[in-house]
Amino acid sequence: MAKAKTPTVRMACPDGRPIQLRYFCPIKRKEIRISTGSHDRATAEQQKRELEAKLLLGIETKPSRKGIAGSPQMPWDDFREQYRKIYLSTLRPTSAGDSESRLDIAERIVQPKILADLHSRDTLESLQAKMLAGEGQPIRPRSKKKGGGTLPVKIRPRSPHTVKSNMASIVAALNWAARRGWLPAVPLIDKVKTSKIRAMKGRPITAKEFQRMLDETASIVGEEAAESWRHTLRGLWASALRLEELMNVSWDDENAIRPIWNRGRQPVLYIPAEMQKNDTEEAIPLLPWFESVLLETPEDARTGWIFNPASLQGTMNRPAHEGRQTAEWIGRIISRIGRKAGVVVRGGDLSAHRSAKYASAHDLRRSCAERLLDAGVPAEAVTRVLRHASFETTRRHYAPGDVQKIAETIRQCLGTVLEETGVSYCTRRGSNPQPPVPKTGALSN
């Protein structure tokens, strides 16, 4: 009988996770994956040589897992795989990706071998403290031109709000394991204290700021691609759609977001359930601003995707990418345009180790919402366009600027009262405010 061929071992580098050794087992007829527990290539190479030697000698390379699957002793990699297949696969890609990245942070800091390694109160509290200090940053690979290897990561403390949301995702994964009977009840820990700040991470931008972004577009994407990118920016500015939604607006695809014009009825924007956060099929009013942008396309060209920013590979003398660009990548380019235009939507904070934030795609959605409210569109209608469950969500995230309207109302009301009492007060908008000054003889003891 011919001797079985020794499997070939290869190294794999999952994004943000330790290097893995992989080989195909001819007996079990499946790929075997073994984590090296390290991001260092030299360490992984040494383990690879040892594994190859064991395979050559026919030595068992992985301990038997009989009796430990689905228990606190189950290997951490197995838990991650089960959590991904059974639970995260039911979430939207963005939510699943966020959960994966937060578990990656915990994995880089704690380096668990089994599920129980991340279960104790001391471990969770230590993890929280280390995340606040900025530990667990992903290691960036060095380019081949610089000799390979990895680049050092600049450690920056994380904000309490970021750590609080990260810990919530990690504890949620452990609670999922507890519900399946793989862990005892997850211990409670003291959550990191966070200040009550406004929910909105950016702000609506003005028409002048938006024009600056349009003017600077070519300097980021090149003259050849600039018009397609300006078209996308104007779509965000006029539609109140999220970037991922805008990239799924089509003229004729019934499974995508579509504008619909019916004779004798107002135009609407149809949104399939798959494109909604609430998984509900819906039609919303087509904003006249957005309709104007759409109708710029000649009738004979109204087919396929409506917004399709051109590839930037041409600006680097490289062949263009096949297929469409991802919404995530387009968002990064729009943020570069905001930075180039100098549109700061949130100032930096040295004490919190937070750099300034420049205009992004979502700030254009905020801008559209604010313009609707400023134009006198009823709050309920704006909430419907934004597809929020209630106006409270709209107010907290998109319309925090009501203080100016309230201040104007107060001044108008008090102006009459003060005039009756003989107290003058400068209420002209834009003037230098002065404290109330009693008119001569107006008040007496």
| 43-47, 160-164, 246-250, 388-392: which is most confident | 246-250
pLDDT at 297: 93
> Is 100 in contact with 88 (CB distance < 8 Å)?
yes
Closest C-alpha among 230, 204, 202 to residue 216:
230
> What does the pLDDT average to over 250-277?
89
> What does the pLDDT average to over 258-264?
90
Q: Does residue 251 surpass a pLDDT of 70?
A: yes
> What does the pLDDT average to over 412-432?
51
Assign 3-state DSSP to the chain and report helix, strand, coil percentages, each to 5: 45, 10, 45
Q: What percent of the chain has a predicted confidence (pLDDT) above 70?
A: 74
Q: Find tokens 């090149």 and name the residue.
A: 222
pLDDT at 46: 84
Q: State how far the Cα of 44 lies from the Cα of 21, in Å rounded to an integer.
A: 8
**Is pTM beyond 0.85 here?**
no
pLDDT at 304: 94
Q: Does residue 399 surpass a pLDDT of 60?
A: no
Q: Is 84 helix (H, G, I), strand (E, B) or coil?
A: helix
> What's the mean per-residue pLDDT of the chain?
80
Q: Specify the fold of 207-319+326-347+357-398.
A: hpI Integrase; Chain A (1.10.443)
Q: Does residue 291 surpass a pLDDT of 50?
A: yes
Q: Please state, as a whole number, how many other Cβ atoms lie within 10 Å of the Cβ of residue 323.
A: 7
pLDDT at 275: 78
Q: State how far the Cα of 340 lies from the Cα of 177, in Å rounded to an integer.
A: 46
Q: Is 68 helix (H, G, I), strand (E, B) or coil?
A: coil
pLDDT at 319: 58
Domain range list for the chain: 10-57, 76-142+151-179, 207-319+326-347+357-398, 410-438
Q: State how far the Cα of 311 lies from the Cα of 290, in Å rounded to an integer.
A: 24
Q: Does residue 260 surpass a pLDDT of 50?
A: yes
> Is 209 in contact with 341 (CB distance < 8 Å)?
yes
Convert the pLDDT of each residue in 101-138 to its tens digit. 999 999 999 999 999 899 889 999 999 999 998 888 87
pLDDT at 375: 87
pLDDT at 339: 94
Q: Which position has the higher pLDDT, 278 or 332?
A: 332
Q: Mind giving me the DSSP string for 188-202? A: P-PPPP-----S-SS
Q: Does residue 39 surpass a pLDDT of 80?
A: no
Q: State how far the Cα of 229 lies from the Cα of 311, in Å rounded to an integer.
A: 10
> Is 9 in contact with 22 (CB distance < 8 Å)?
yes
Buried b (16+ CB within 10 A) or exposed e, 71-102: eeebbbbbbbebbeeebbeeeeeeebebbbeb
Q: State how far the Cα of 167 lies from the Cα of 328, in Å rounded to an integer.
A: 24
Phi, psi of 20 (to 5 degrees): -110, 150
Q: Find tokens 């079985």 and name the residue.
A: 4
Q: Find tokens 């383990």 and name the residue.
A: 47
Q: State how far the Cα of 408 lies from the Cα of 403, in Å rounded to an integer.
A: 9
Convert the pLDDT of each residue in 188-221 to its tens digit. 888 888 766 555 577 889 999 999 999 999 999 9
- The least confident of 277-286, 338-347, 406-415 is 406-415
Closest C-alpha among 290, 189, 289, 278 to residue 249:
290
Inter-axis angle of helices 93-110 and 121-133, nearest 10: 100
Q: State how far the Cα of 298 lies from the Cα of 45, in Å rounded to an integer.
A: 59
pLDDT at 104: 92
Closest C-alpha among 71, 86, 77, 74 to residue 21:
77
Convert the pLDDT of each residue in 128-154 to its tens digit. 999 998 888 876 655 555 555 555 556
The torsion defined by the Cα of 35, 37, 38 and 41, in degrees rounded to 10, comes to: -30
Q: Does residue 63 surpass a pLDDT of 50?
A: no
pLDDT at 393: 64
Task: Give the length of the chain.
Answer: 445
> What does the pLDDT average to over 276-305?
89
